[in-house]
Amino acid sequence: MEHITTPKVENVKLLDRYANRKAANGTLYLTATHLIYVEASAEVRKETWILHHHIAAIEKLPVTTAGYHLLIHCKNFHVAHFVFGQERDCHEVYTSLLKLSQPVKPEELYAFSYNPKMSKENRETGWKLIDLKLDYQRMGIPNDYWEITDVNKDYEVCSTYPPEIVVPRAASKAVVIGSSKFRSRGRIPVLSYLYKENNAAICRCSQPLAGFSARCLEDEQMLQAIREANPGSPFMYVVDTRPKLNAMANRAAGKGYENEDNYDNIRFKFIGIENIHVMRSSLQKLLEVCEMKSPSMSDFLTGLENSGWLRHIKAVMDAGVFLAKAVKDEKASVLVHCSDGWDRTAQVCSLASLLLDPFYRTFKGFMVLIEKEWIAMGHKFSHRCGHLDGDPKEVSPVFTQFIECVWQLMQQFPCAFEFNERFLLEIHDHVYSCQFGNFLGTCHKEREDLRIFEKTHSLWPFLLQKRQEFRNPLYRGFTAYQELLPNTLPFSFQFWCGMYNRFDKGMHPKQRVLDHLLGCMSKKVQLEDNASELENKLPFLDGPSPGEACSLPKAGRAPSKTPMLNTPQDYGGDPPLALSNGASAGELDLPAAAQKHEENPPHPCDLPDAVDILDSEARDGKPRRR
């Protein structure tokens, strides 16, 4: 609180970038964790909350006749434009936010003060929700070829790997340690995913310290052990996700890539995903396009193309598809690396796993995937997300690109994922919010040093509590889709308005498919509950038996077994209760139908008809009329 000199400023205007309406007038508050803006003139109380850790940049614009302007850009792509009447107020808010949004010490992050009134036992249980050993057991590990080893328990092999890693059983400790000395930052080849159908594996590591001629017997033995752990294939792929030119430049610095002459039966391939600096620049260009107030179609499309953003998304997707095809179709194991093996490698390995395994397309599975491939394996969240005041050149939207790749897959396979777009947005928000401890630091060792597991809370239980809001109503179940093979031709990729213009209300459709489907499902569950309650009351009433009076559905049907509704065109009625992206609950009223239902409850015999109609519509895909 010592950074806050002016905790409250009245008569502050909030401009809307796209809506041609009068600027809102209200009061701005600064707290220890949030900037809160409360509109004074709104009929329904409207509040805008901006977490200090979400703030990426603050800019004081030139003074105008309207007042003193303050423009705030957020890491979750929210842009807030405030206008103050007094220059002193504007400057004091500006200086306070500069300090509040750029903490210097990890202990100043929100997660260390966040207190959801949870018991110590529940907090500890939350951290145990995701157990990576169970995921490896699900893959059939340990087995004759792979083992979980604690060779890194004291971080002697690699300081950025977790204490337990999965390596070939044939690789001795001497081979593991020898290989670590030949790999950048000691990041040896370890298992990422095992495809049980044919024993083909996806492994990951960092670049070798090969230079132009250096070689390492232990590293060669390690790759041989990986290849031999898959008896069904005579060769394995080694995939370098960097452009070849970049890899050759690293060679001149004593690093580089594997020489095929030194490794038995490997096929080497470059993928060509650009580095973190290119991606950071590309995102900045994309956001400039998003912030154009009245672009022509030509300006928008030209700006989108010049940003190169979708081209980079396609490159990551192509790499994931190549890995999945190699594993499934060619039955070959694949070793993946970039420079240090914690950016592009994480993107490609996690995306390939998602394509191959439907478990990772469920709520729990997606959490496991992020925990395994990103958090445990040392993606530098603290640096890439700019959690602390540090080198801006280390910031890059690597995880954002992965989240977008998942969204692009959801557009091509809308029935293959248990979760919806909001789930992705919520995770993306909390990667930057620092409200939970999962994404703090750069690796497992650093999180242990910060005592994250003792002092902060885990994000995953929080997300599971909200799973109804994040459900995909079109999901067809775990076994409906096994492997996914997306189309990666250029026309298959879309601009994600829901991410990059999420908070611009005027940019979104008037009727949202997801809102409508979730609303239909919510109404159906409510009708089933009402019918069950009335059925339970019938035995206590005089008159005909339940079977003679009316045919009621069975009580207690679980919502999870509700048939999935089809397209929103099949349904009419009132708007759903679910909120659109960026909307606050206080801005919306209950639907008129819900109020009418409270005033005039339906007759008991009408309820089963309504339920049966929804059931029939769900099966037939056509609305029934009464």
Look-up: residue for tokens 């095809």?
325
Please give the biggest Cα pair distance in the chain: 93
Distances (CA, A) of 532 to 355, 585, 601: 40, 29, 14
Chain centroid to CA 161: how far?
22
Distance CA 299, CA 501 (A): 17
Distance CA 103, CA 225 (A): 46
Cα torsion through 358, 364, 367, 373, rounded to 10 = -50
Look-up: residue for tokens 């290119």?
278
Distance CA 330, CA 289 (A): 41
Whether 605 is catalytic is no
Chain centroid to CA 70: how far?
30
Catalytic residue among 338, 434, 520, 550: 338
The one-letter code for the residue type at 482 is Q
Q: Quick one: which H or E segment has residue 71? A: strand 68-74
DSSP for 267-282, please give it.
Answer: EEEE-----HHHHHHH
Contacts by residues 425-430 (CB-CB < 8 Å, ≥ 24 positions apart): 425/76, 425/498, 425/499, 425/502, 425/581, 426/463, 426/466, 426/470, 427/370, 427/403, 427/459, 427/463, 428/76, 428/399, 428/400, 428/403, 428/499, 429/54, 429/76, 430/459
Distance CA 191, CA 168 (A): 8
Distances (CA, A) of 475 to 405, 448, 515, 535, 581: 18, 37, 15, 30, 20
Distance CA 534, CA 350 (A): 48
Distance CA 438, CA 444 (A): 10
Yes or no: say if 344 and 241 are a contact pair by the CB < 8 Å rule.
yes
Cα torsion through 237, 238, 241, 245, rounded to 10 = -120
Please choose, from the candidates 430, 423, 405, 511, the residue with its C-alpha nearest in 3D space to the C-alpha of residue 464: 423
Tell which phi-psi region holds residue 67, choosing left (phi > 0), alpha (psi between -120 and 50) or beta. Answer: left
Distance CA 473, CA 465 (A): 17
Distance CA 473, CA 512 (A): 13
Active site residues: 338
